[in-house]
Structure 1
Amino acid sequence: MAQPQLKTNLLNQPLMLPNGFSIPNRLAKASTSETLATYSNNPTEKHVRLYQRWAASGIGMIISGNIMIDRRALGEAGNVVVEDERNFTILQKWAKSVTVQGSQLWAQLNHPGKQSTKGLNVRTISASAVPFGPEMQSLFATPDEATQTEIIDIIQRFGRSAAICKKAGFSGVEIHAAHGYLINQFLSPLHNLRNDEWGGTPEKRRRFLMEVYAEIRKQVGQEFPIAIKLNSADFQKGGFTEQDSLETIQALADAGIDLIEISGGTYESGVAKAPQKASTIAREAFFIDFAEKVRKLVKIPLMVTGGFRTVEGMNQALQSQACDVIGIARIMAIEPDVPKLLLAGKNGLQSVHPIKTGIKKVDSLGVMEVLWYTQQLKRMGKGREPKPHESGLWAFIKSILRSGWGTYATQRARAK
């Protein structure tokens, strides 16, 4: 395949955030599920090894996989948890493995809410006691409604986790408010049925997010970058809409957020899969049309993740000024050195494609978009090369076995 001929490769341009913080180029590795932690939720040398490999590619910034703020609230077995400084030395080593090479490492902070597999946590909470739909109820328990005391505790935990990451040498933090996790649950009128100060109107539904942002800002200061990952919409009837998202973005911009990453979907509707028009497909990025609406509203730097296939498509998105940072994720699981080619104006050697097991019920849920790629990250965490053509069925079988054992091992670790 002939390589493109670009007059100017905009991916190489640095980006200055409003607070004066500079990102060395416009390529970012978006967050991916890794589950490389111990079953006591401690980061390991596998994180160092994987992120060191990614940073060697020359990518401008790397956003970590989910870092949970509470050991009692895990999204998956093997999540990293930062709630105190017990793992401070390995956190420092993890951050330095990236920053010493000139890239940046931003910590994505999260609370799963009800989006946690059955048996993993002693208690599951959400904005309201709303169960998943019938297709997902076998995997996820109906949550309890969070109490006022629990809400305040979670807000404070977000701030404390951010402060520890800053102290350890991370370059910034990203609040995960997308993909059906707890903050997204508070934002959604489908999942938030409250009529107190945390629900009932769009303003009250986003209060939890705004309080989380304010607490993080209080604990890290004005000069430390804070980003947010936010859905353009949930793609669920009665859920968080584009209009809700635009109003939330305006509130965040007014509050001083430094970077907004646009995504979409939930576990139930399908993560990062926006309804596609022919014009959007031609432009590659899933959420570029929504990014253009955001750009008309605010001037905050925007990151768009999902759908990019070519260096030309990435440059067209930057040239249009619809976004400022190009997020790539799954390709980094099968071709970790691809930023070297993209920054040189060339396309990658591998391509992302749907992963199928041949089991219709499994494939309809879209879980392989997480499970298969996670397997590749685990290989790199062990110092091995990814397998771009690994069987989807075999990866699924390994993931199910590991998940069952992981839940059991997490329960045992918690009991000690």
Structure 2
Amino acid sequence: RGTQFMGAGYDIPNIQGEGRTVCTNHAWGSAFRAYGSPQSLFSSEVLMDELAEKLGMDPLEIRLKNAYRPGSTSPTGQAPESYSLPKMLEALRPKYELAKKRAAEGSTARYKKGVGLSVGVYGCGLDGPDGSEARVDMNPDGTITICTAWEDHGQGADIGAIGTAHEALRPLGIAPDKLRFTWPNTAKCPNSGPAGGSRSQVMTGNAIRVACETLLKETAKPKGGFFKKGGGYMTYDELVAAGKPTSFAGKWSAVDGTACDENSQGKPFVIYMYGVFMAEVTVDTETGKTAVDRMTLMCDCGKINNRLVVDGQNYGGIAQGIGLALSEDFEDIEKHSTMPGAGFPYIKDIPDDIEVIYFEEHRADGPHGAAGIGELPLTSPHASVINGIYNACGVRITKLPAYPEKVLEALKK
């Protein structure tokens, strides 16, 4: 993940890195939202601000100048499938200028305000080839059941499945309330794979789309006669009477996805998500405490299935990013093994003013143009907060979290 996301979002023709695997006495960790990219992008996005300062450039301008465009490649040598970053940075510009003006006018001798930016990129899928299976069942009462193992831990698998199926079944004219969703049951559901890596909407969504398209094909009534009358689709009862199946399977694979080689070059994902974060912060120079006043996210997650669900993913990820930036730590098993001890952010720590603006760039390999969404909002919001602290008071935090005492100590130096 480090090689995939350090420097992601920018056209860097030559990049070399060294990775080491070491045994430590630190707490053991496993995959969590945006796994690998919060660490990778924190380093590269703070370095982008340092580079902008060395060059005498504005942080937005250096990002806009180097963002993916046709002809660019990712750190793994892959051509991006969406070039939305320049559009998002241009659209953010007026908001960024207004935020800088607010910061300049709102700063006092004690409370310094600043603005920070960061770019976020994340892939949809397991590294390399990935796929999923689904099934749609026509029922006697005229409803249709979408059967998958799309596991749900709060991200909205139910509306993800139903929304995807409804779009695919538009020719059938079926109402959304006639669609049913099954929670995963390994004894009864096809193999949809894990709900991780922001893969479900893409992989399982495509499998659902294929299953629905198979249903339409297999139940279509032939058009005949001089006036081409007839047509439409067979009902459940008509299928049973004709001895035809009432269940239809769908499979989809991202066959173009290939794992990276020994030089970290390859095409690990067919679809990515892209975003630009802007944090507006206030630093209390007497205590070192940082408050996040506003967060803005320019988001490209492809064509949106359900806006409310996608909003929820983004708000949640941004909140987690603020915690990661300012308060969360898990090094000491005794000290950090409770939510308060680990620095879980409280409601007062998350601003009410969070704005998400969508750029729905169609994904050729996504179901109805969709990408994933789950991990994008935690790729780099914390980097924008840290960059905002530097913009506010000149303190560069390079090891998270930015505890008040850490900021205060740096201020004194």
Provide TM-score, normalisation by structure 2: 0.26
Higher strand proportion, which one? 2
Provide TM-score, normalisation by structure 1: 0.26
Q: Which has the higher contact order (CA 8 A, sep 6+)?
A: 2
